[in-house]
Amino acid sequence: MKVIKQLQIKFILSIVIVEMFVFAGVILSLNMMITHRERNEARMFLEMLAENDGHRPRPPRPEDMERLAKNGQNFPRDKAQLGFESEFDATTSATQNSSHFFFDNTSSLLGLTHDKQAGLRNYFAVKIAPTGELKEVIQDFPLSYTDEEIATLVSRIFQEEKRYGTIDGVMYSVTTIDSGNKLICFLNCNAELKTLYKFYIYSILVYISCLVISLIISLPVSAFMVRPIREAFIKQKQFIADAGHELKTPIAVISANLDVLENEIKGNKWLEYIKAENTRMGELVKDLLYLAKNDAGRNPLNFSDFDFSNAVENSILPFEVVAFESGKRLTLDIQPGIICTGDEKSLKQVFIILVDNAIKNSESGAKITVRAFVEGQKILFKVHNTGAGIPKEELEKIFLRFYRSDYSRARKTGGYGLGLAIARAIATDHGGTLTANSEVGKWAEFTLALPRKK
């Protein structure tokens, strides 16, 4: 059922990754939008200060409003049009009608509300001579900055040479006025920045919480999604197992009848064909049963310490005659005294499958080398053969069930493409790996890697 678990994990990862990007997009967009709006509002406030000589515009006097109403005019934005004094009366402006700083047309022009403007009051401005000398500090209320701190801010601004910027949470704008003098307007945004910082922290916490919740929800959802696949997979395995058991009996009966007929009809080539195909069918059923039991976890392995070197040698020696008759050379290079913990019988089956595969899939005159040695904490068993090799795109496909790399040779070599699938299943059950490597037209090599202790 490993395939079903892997499929369920992929469903969970897909759900979580999609939600991760969606939540990230929403939260980042929201943070960027709020940050951009706060920055624009602060910049417009600084522009308004620069247009009003570093002051916040005061409400128009009643006589100005009456005069404008008689002339059929609206409240203007420029203070000069109102007949303001050359020097702004800061104290009077700050104390009179402290909750009303703009009229509707001014607020709409700036894109800000009365409440928003009322919150941006921690500001001041300075006039700077062309030489960099501080000429005047413009303030509408008492400041919490000393002359030294203001001078430090001004010097840092001159070093940066920017029109707009932020220094230690204080936004500023630089405007050139008459005679080369400059007006620098300051707006303390530390409170706003702290609020934005808290908002970012809360956004991250919400983002992580959403991912955790989505992960929790995706567990039952993924289980529900793979349930039909799980049931179909179980039915398929059960069918293979049942069919295998049912086929064993007629195969055994056919084999017994063939033995009787061979005694009565000797040298009949048709009987030989039937017997060969019956033998192949028996091997196929045997392999299918093994894989079905392995998928169902019903292949118990008897782990014990055994001499790995002797097991390899005893399994491979019978193939020397087969290789010689095929015009191929089989060479053994086995490190003596290797002790392995595992199921000796099933591992011998892996040795036989790999060597048999190398002999069958190599041309006459090929050299087959079998090596067994210890490397670090792993026991390695390698089967190398010269020949046509395996294309790179098929190095993993050859371990699939019923997959044949070269169908033109399938009938000549025999088998059904289950041997390597069985070998990899045994390697996995031992906590090891079975991999293939090749260079097309030159060689192919299979490597079984097992842990020294399991």
Q: Which residue has the tokens 């008459």?
A: 178
The token pair that represents 126 in the structure block: 């300075």
Integer Cα distance of 449 and 432 in angstroms: 5
Angle at 162 between CA 157 and CA 166, to 5 degrees: 65
Distance of CA 70 to the CA centre of its chain: 71
Please give the pLDDT value at position 6.
Answer: 80
Please give the pLDDT value at position 195.
Answer: 86
Please give the pLDDT value at position 307.
Answer: 94
Q: What is the mean pLDDT of residues 60-85?
A: 54
Judged by DSSP in three states, 188 sits in strand
Given pLDDT bands bounded at 50, 70 and 90, which one contains residue 54?
Answer: confident
Task: Tell me if 419 sits within 8 A of 427, measured CB to CB.
Answer: no
Furthest C-alpha separation in the chain? 135
Question: 317-334: per-residue pLDDT in tens?
Answer: 989 989 999 899 999 999
Closest to 405 in 3D by CA, of 357, 366, 352, 350: 357
Integer Cα distance of 7 and 182 in angstroms: 68
Given pLDDT bands bounded at 50, 70 and 90, which one contains residue 85?
Answer: very low
Please give the pLDDT value at position 84.
Answer: 39
Q: What is the mean pLDDT of residues 329-343?
A: 93
Task: Tell me if 240 sits within 8 A of 26, measured CB to CB.
Answer: no
Q: Is the pLDDT reported for residue 40 higher than 80?
A: yes
Count the neighbouring beta carbons within 10 Å of the beta carbon of residue 340: 26
Which secondary-structure segment (H or E) carries 171?
Answer: strand 170-176
Closest to 158 in 3D by CA, of 125, 124, 182, 193: 182
Task: Tell me if 231 sits within 8 A of 36, measured CB to CB.
Answer: no
Question: Which H, E and C letters describe 303-326, residue by residue?
Answer: CEEEEHHHHHHHHHCCHHHHHHHC
Judged by DSSP in three states, 123 sits in strand
Closest to 183 in 3D by CA, of 365, 279, 48: 48
Q: What is the mean pLDDT of residues 437-443?
A: 90
Radius of gyration in angstroms for the set of CA atoms belonging to the chain, rounded to a whole number: 43
- Distance separating the N- and C-terminal Cα atoms of the chain: 22
Identify the top-confidence range among 60-74, 309-323, 403-417.
Answer: 309-323
Judged by DSSP in three states, 96 sits in coil
Given pLDDT bands bounded at 50, 70 and 90, which one contains residue 227?
Answer: confident
Q: What is the mean pLDDT of residues 76-95?
A: 38
Please give the pLDDT value at position 81.
Answer: 42
Amino acid at 134: L
